[in-house]
């Protein structure tokens, strides 16, 4: 009989398609990972999408940049996030889901705090704002790594549920930024 063994917290034996394994062990681990992934993804979407809100307010507050310059910040964040999805989807396989989700979520602190700092200095050059927008792209990359991670935990018949909950509830990060 195959048992799920762990080395530290690493999963050594994973058989989500085995009904007995899924019911006895797999379901608990899969949903635990899902409920950790959703808030991490929510934070990723919030940081990634915040420049869409910030640029409008910067325009209203009279920052010394043209409208075109300000809206490049939104574009930079969007393009950076789309680009970050490519390497982020491979990070799960290279360093494991737990490490990747932790690292990409922790990396969101830097652009979030950095954006707060640069916004206090309207006299700073445009490139400092562009750098923060670029860094916010980590939030977009977080989506790819999160989806890649969650898909491995669920049996094929439940992957739609797991991925749907992950993406759907994670996308509340955009709504959160609109409200906050």
Closest to 165 (Cα-Cα) out of 177, 178, 150: 150
Predicted TM-score (pTM) of this structure: 0.82
The domains of the chain, with CATH numbers, are 46-179 (1.20.1250.20)
Q: What is the pLDDT of residues 16-43, one digit of tens each?
A: 898 999 999 899 999 999 999 999 999 9
Q: pLDDT at position 78, please?
A: 92
Q: Is the pLDDT of residue 10 over 80?
A: no
Distance CA 122, CA 13 (A): 54
SS3 7: strand
Q: How many CB atoms lie within 10 A of CB 153?
A: 22
**pLDDT-derived band of residue 116, with 50, 70 and 90 as boundaries?**
very high
Q: What percent of the chain is modeled with pLDDT above 70?
A: 95
Tokens linked to 54: 């910030």
Q: What is the pLDDT of residues 78-108, one digit of tens each?
A: 999 999 888 888 888 888 888 888 888 898 9
**pLDDT-derived band of residue 8, with 50, 70 and 90 as boundaries?**
low
Distance CA 76, CA 30 (A): 34
Mean pLDDT of the chain: 88
**pLDDT-derived band of residue 132, with 50, 70 and 90 as boundaries?**
very high
Q: pLDDT at position 39, please?
A: 92
Distance CA 30, CA 28 (A): 6
- How far apart, in Å, do the first and last CA atoms of the chain sit? 52
In the chain, DSSP assigns E strands to 6-7, 10-11
């Amino acid at each position: 009989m195959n048992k799920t063994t762990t080395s530290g917290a690493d999963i050594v034996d994973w058989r989500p398609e085995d009904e007995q394994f899924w019911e006895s062990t797999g379901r608990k681990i899969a949903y635990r990972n899902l409920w950790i992934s959703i808030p991490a993804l929510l934070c990723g979407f919030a940081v990634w999408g915040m420049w869409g809100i910030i640029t409008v307010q910067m325009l209203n507050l009279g920052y010394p940049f043209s409208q075109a310059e300000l809206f490049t910040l939104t574009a930079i964040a969007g393009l950076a996030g789309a680009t970050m999805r490519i390497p982020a989807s491979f990070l799960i396989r290279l360093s494991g889901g737990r490490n990747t989700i932790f690292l990409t979520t922790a990396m969101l602190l830097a652009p979030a705090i950095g954006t707060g700092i640069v916004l206090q200095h309207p006299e700073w050059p445009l490139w400092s704002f562009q750098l923060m927008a670029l860094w916010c792209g980590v939030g977009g990359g977080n989506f790819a790594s999160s989806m890649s991670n969650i898909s491995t935990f669920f049996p094929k018949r439940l992957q739609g549920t797991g991925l749907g909950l992950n993406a759907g509830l994670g996308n509340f990060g955009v709504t959160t930024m609109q409200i906050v």
